[in-house]
Structure 1
Amino acid sequence: MDALGQHVVDRGVAVAGAALAELGEASLLGLDQATVADSLVALSALEAQVAELKHRVVAHAAEVRVEEPTGATTTATWLAHATRTTRRAARRAVHLAGALERFAVLRAGLAAGRVNLEQAQVVVRALEELPDDVPSWVVAEAERALVELAASHDADDLRVLGDRVLALVAPEVGEAHEAKKLADAEKDADRATKLTLTPDGSGRVHGRFVVPELHAAMLRKMLMALVVHDRPAAADAATETHEADEADEADEADETDGAVLGGGPPRRTTAEELGRAFCELLERLDGREAPKVGGTGATVVVTMSLETLLGGLASAVLDTGDRVAAHTARRLACEAGIVPVVLDGKGQVLDQGRAQRFFTRAQVIALGARDGGCTAEGCRTAAWFCHAHHDDPWSTGGRTDLARGRLLCPSHHRRVHDPAYEHRITGDNRVVFTRRT
């Protein structure tokens, strides 16, 4: 600090630095809750004041070309090296410093500690994104409005408000601007829309997609509906052998949607749950409503041997040329959206699926009224989200009637066809699963 000159800024920085140095070893014992709260609020305001001074000095550094003595090419390059920050952060600082020179109301709010640095960056972005043809008085009103809103809104809220600030200060201008902005954004999203599916040769396909916000919202709601309604209740854990597996999956969660089940605490939504929900969504789609291609449209045709349908281990073949496990083929044979083609030992077609294989809508409604939802022990998935299942496989002579049918949620319907589990039906018409050893 002794090297600082006699300019008022140098003296102020020296005094502030000395004061903070004294606090470096200060004990925090004795600070009660109210004092701690007040101190944190005051420190946040102090941070904003220091940030304003720093960026004002950065703006002046650009004017006097502080980088020239060192041979640095830009002020940002010099700043990054001198302060040991990244060039990205230094460029942002130089940009914000220049913006604060133009937006005096915002700079004053930062200097007074009423606006923090994060809020200031958001306000600058909002003001700089206003159309070039907006009158200067509208820009000034937008700046004033956002600085006032900063008193009661954080940076995330300000980002949303900033996108619509014209609607606040100049509704007619804002409406036209927003309409154009949304139309341009939708065109850009439409041009960027894509999906890639890449098989890795081990039975898995990796994909990435870019879709417009509208379709992302539709997909997200569908997937979350499947995730929430497909989760077994947390109660009766002792009777549900697979809940330990689901707990392990929850521990590996990598994103949170805050879904709440039955009034309980929020649960983390795992990528595995969303992935299974996406598969369930695809299985629920009715390919008959899609345009026809090659005679069958988007309906998947599963070709399997009679032995496979009756419980054999031989795989089945999709009409895309891909192969699926035998137990998956048997499960798909229960679904109305899938066309099963069964071959005898000579490869001749024995069955191509018949309407009476599947429960009618009236029967499904009756099953819902009787079962009330998934009949797996401990599961409380609502009836409207369940599949109708044959207790006696239709392929072995089972009848499509209410007496030998039941509702199972998607997860338990998969499990009832999973060879890794066996199941039994209790006296009160509940299905209990046990993992095979």
Structure 2
Amino acid sequence: MAQHTDTPGSGHPIEAVLCRFLDDLKGLADVPTWSMDAETTTRVVGLGARVAAGVAELEARSIRQAETLDLPGTAGCRNLARWVQRTTGVTRRSARAKAKLAAGLGDLEPTRAATARGDIHAEQAQAIANHVAVLDDEKVSAHDQARAEAFLLGEATGGHDADTLAAMGHAIWERLDPEGADEREAKALEAQEERARRRTRLTMGDDGDGLTHGRFSIPTATADAFRKQLHALAAPKHIRAEHGAGSYDWQKPSAERLGQAFTEWIETYDPTQLPKIGGLSATVIAIGDYDLLQGKLKAAQLETGTKISPTEYLRLACGAGIIPAWMNASGEVLALGRKHRFHTPAQRLAAIVEQRHCQHHSGCDVPGYLCHAHHTIPWAQGGTTDLRTTTLYCPYHHTRVHQPGHDPTRT
């Protein structure tokens, strides 16, 4: 972010004030807070929140002006949020929130003015904008939209936070249309739930240090059920039963305890209750060799390639969703002759353990559990159904290797 705060040559009041404000803030950078008493500290925190709200409104108004001037298009950005991200250096998530606030305050003058004065927070303003936007979607008159905005704004200035405002949809309709409030609330909830289903997401990423971080968005009703399940796994009685007396040392499930409960939920879920993937149950294969049986300290691994300690391997081998695979010195698991035309689940598991991914020479890395088991020597030509003549190919390359004249050793 640029640090230049000299008064600009344009002389525009908004720009000049912001530059002076930044310069004043620099002067406060080294002023200690230890000399503030309790009352002063309380007032300063409140003032800081009000100033932040006013600055957020100025920023939102300026972002809206950037859209009017088509600055995103001039800069070659695909949308306004991307331009905000590029201009300010904030995350994509924050940039989207800023662009959304700018759009929301554009047509809500009372809410915008209250935010500019620091009477309400930016998140309260966004909650008001969200509700009024829903009313607009339902073709509510401008007069009733204004009434709804006034009601929510009054609740916000009265001390209700953004979460409380978000729960006041029914109260709005009780004021606008007392007789039809229940029906409207039911329809609004159905629409909300449908939007939630469309926006359901899950992303995960490995940080390279043994942890995978993720973000998810799921319908709130589903989250309530999930939270209750995790709380059951984190309950005192369960914790004591699993870890012994004295292991219960908290009054409320902590983030760490719930994370451990989530891990337990995954590891103990019966994979036979899930749909099959690649012809197999959604089990994880933990791979070790005879050295581990002899007590040697040696890394094991999952069929995904993730390395694990021998202690973790033995622990996982006891889980309902884990299949332990022991390899001999030659790396072989099992073999089966012409007794079966199709590969058995055990053979498919063994092929995944040994080959890991699609074996096409192009370097295809489609995971083994999504691949087809291919007879290197066709069954019709006397080939056997065993691992020595089994090759994993993804559906695309499996189709190609069956085409006349195709050489799987070439792309």
Which structure would you say has the larger RCO, counting Cα contacts within 8 Å and 6 or more residues apart? 1
Q: Which has the larger radius of gyration?
A: 1
TM-score by structure 2 length? Answer: 0.49
Q: Counting strand residues as a fraction of each chain, which structure ranks higher? A: 1
TM-score by length of 1: 0.46
